[in-house]
Amino acid sequence: MKRVKTHSLEREHILTGILKCPGCGANMYGNVNRKRHPKGGTYRDYFYYACEHPTGTTGHKCDYHKQWGQDIVNDAVAELMEKDMSTKEKILDAALTLFDREYPDEANGITHVSVIYQLL
């Protein structure tokens, strides 16, 4: 019998698989912990990112057991993205710089960057 989830199913763990564990380099995944209020009996969900190898079930054991608060991490990443790439022009400039560095003799770099710009 499949267990029914009792936490919010609308929550997205947007950085799962993108964040890397500082202890072992494995992916970090979204995790939920539900706490019951002792007086009111109402639940509160706490969302975290944690290493996918804390217990060694896959033959790999990680000693890093800290869980990162999901809202704090998501907000920090969003702030960095806004600061570094706040406009399409900055993204285009970054893409042009990358193509110029990686493909100095490639005339198609401008075409590739134009396609990226259209996708934005």
Q: What is the mean pLDDT of residues 96-113?
A: 62
Flag whether the pTM goes above 0.75. Answer: no
From CA 120, how far away is CA 116, in angstroms rounded? 7
Q: What is the CA radius of gyration of the chain?
A: 21
Query: Which pLDDT belongs to residue 88?
Result: 66
Q: What percent of the chain is modeled with pLDDT above 70? A: 62
**How far, CA to CA in Å, does 113 sit from each of 59, 75, 83, 86?**
43, 28, 21, 17
| pLDDT tens, residue by residue, 35-75 | 777 777 777 788 998 888 766 566 777 888 888 888 888 88
From CA 26, how far away is CA 75, in angstroms rounded? 22
Q: DSSP letter at 103?
A: -
Query: Which pLDDT belongs to residue 116?
Result: 53
Average pLDDT, the chain: 73
From CA 27, how far away is CA 18, in angstroms rounded? 7
